[in-house]
Homo-oligomer: A and B are copies of this chain.
Amino acid sequence: MNDTFLKACRGEEVPYTPIWIMRQAGRYLPEYRAIRGKADFLTMCKTPELAAEVTLQPIDILNVDAAILFCDILIPCEAMGQGLDFHEGKGPILSPAVRDADTINKLFVPDPEDSMKFVMDAIRLLRKELEGRVPLIGFAGAPFTTATYMIEGGTSKNFLNTKRMIYEAPALYASFMDKITATITEYLKAQISAGAQAVQIFDTWGGIFSPMDFREYVLPYVVRIIDELKSWMNSESNERVPIIYFVGETAGLLEEIRTSGADVYGVDWRINLDDAIKRLGSDVIVQGNLDPLSMFLPQDKIEERVKDVLGRASSARGHIFNLGHGVVPQTPPENVIALVEMVHRLSRK
């Protein structure tokens, strides 16, 4: 088994820097588009065989060191009772948008093995099909990032409704976040029980806040999840799986993020990785941090950047290579294949 990724997550010695890529199972791959042509996005998420198939594609094609379950961070919103739909080119639509106590009261904390069983089935299937080749990463949206979609009813430019709820009705926001946090906690436990060997918590929109607001309105809910997962993993004598916390636009928030209790910190590309490590502390394990759009550079320039990131990462206790955000659909797959090869070759001891 290739356990380089898990070893790096635990800060153990590795023969080379492991790499996986956010949204590695995605539209930039012709093999993915072939399946996506036959089923819509939500159907793919909800059909374990299809989800498993596209999850496995990048393992063979890219030679990455981990698989990440094909799914969407908004699946729990639907399980909580909100309508979820994806319109081609328009992004997700969640309805009704959560703006008042009535709507929040109608939402519930679902049993993940009930309304989200397809996710756990996909994980169970994948663990069989992977046959230990590479570890399988499960994931969920962080409570705040999940809340933005539920409050805005989809994506947003300035998160006006989310911040208005926080600033105008903080108690309402807190009660809503309690429900989301409980949902995500149970969801991640179910993923781990089903066989996820690491989990990543995506806080894509966490970086829209000042450090003060981040500490008050984003971080405590992530801390609650991580604390609960850790004590659950200990008490259940489950395998202790690594927890990765990824925040978009981290540069102003690293000192806050550091207190989350995560095992690995995802860093986006807007900051030099060595500067990020300096602020996180050199005893951390970091993941990142190439700009996803640098995949449009000629391969010799990509190689320069890989060297640069590997060099900057050397001051951390451990490093998992990744892009700073998901790979975009227009990306040339051959450059992603080359990236994985470069990381393996250039980091080999």
Query: Min CB distance, A254 to chain B, in Å?
Result: 9
Q: Which residue of B lies closest to A301 (CB)?
A: B167
| Copies, count | 2
**Chain B residue contacts of A270, Cβ below 8 A:** 207-211, 249, 251-253
Q: How far is the CA of A308 from the CA of B215 in the complex (A)?
A: 15
Interface string of A153-186 (1 = CB under 8 A from B): 0000011100110011000000000000000000
Q: Are A158 and B293 in contact (CB under 8 A)?
A: yes
Chain B residues near A308: list those with CB within 8 A: 212
Give the residues in chain B near A115, CB-CB below 8 Å. Answer: none
Among A237-264, those with CB < 8 Å from B are: 249, 251-253
Give complex CA distance A42, B312 in Å.
47
Q: Distance (Å) between the CB of A101 and the closest chain B CB?
A: 18
A301-324 vs B, CB cutoff 8 Å, 1 = contact: the mask equals 100010010000000000000000
Is A272 at the interface (CB under 8 A from chain B)? yes
Count A-side interface residues using an 8 Å CB cutoff.
35
Taking the nearest CB of chain B, how far is it from the CB of A303, in angstroms?
A: 14
| Min CB–CB distance A28 → chain B (angstroms) | 12
Q: Could you tell me if B296 and A168 are in contact, using CB atoms closer than 8 angstroms?
A: yes
Are A293 and B252 in contact, with the CB atoms below 8 A? Answer: no
User: Which of B167, B212, B253, B296 has a CB less than 8 Å from the CB of A167?
Assistant: B296
Cβ B291 vs Cβ A213 within 8 A: yes
Interface check A330, CB cutoff 8 A: yes
